[in-house]
Structure 1
């Protein structure tokens, strides 16, 4: 068992259960820990919605291993320029097409939900 730092998404590889960890936590061999510079409790809640929709594919008979997590495609809102066209990242950090996820929009969306300010 390992003690992990806070601010992470965890996925149980055999059950595909997903959680946001706001505090330090203990993990073991069958847990995937996801960290990113864009991650906070609001963006995590937005992303968890999509990951939990994938859960039915990965329970017990087909573990949700890190390779499968990396292959999972999640369609997110992306940043747009003033004329409405997508802002593109030449390094293609987030997608092959160069779209840049709009983390600010996702955070504001979660905060706008009923009781979103109490997460």
Structure 2
């Protein structure tokens, strides 16, 4: 998605550790320009998901900064993960996690759309 003000989102010297002795990112800097799509690839445990969460503002770095333009209600960065979520309820119950008051007809309509 495009940054709301046309400005870039920047990570500067970002590092992160999940506790003492568990560093996953070391002094990473990058700039995401408006309209740019970025895919992070690498081996398991390389810090891809951590960096994505930090740039999206979901998680804070232990060092460094992330700057994003002030938006008009629209996020500067959208994070799409490949994580698999396992739900335990029926399909209707799982769909209603997003909209608890949805009718059966609305659920069928949503399923037809996707």
Query: For the superposition of Structure 1 and Structure 2, which TM-score range results when normalised by the shorter chain?
Result: under 0.3
Greater Rg by CA: 2
More helix by share: 1
User: Greater relative contact order (Cα 8 A, min sep 6): structure 1 or 2?
Assistant: 2
TM norm structure 2:
0.23
> TM-score, normalized by length of structure 1?
0.22
Greater share of strand: 2
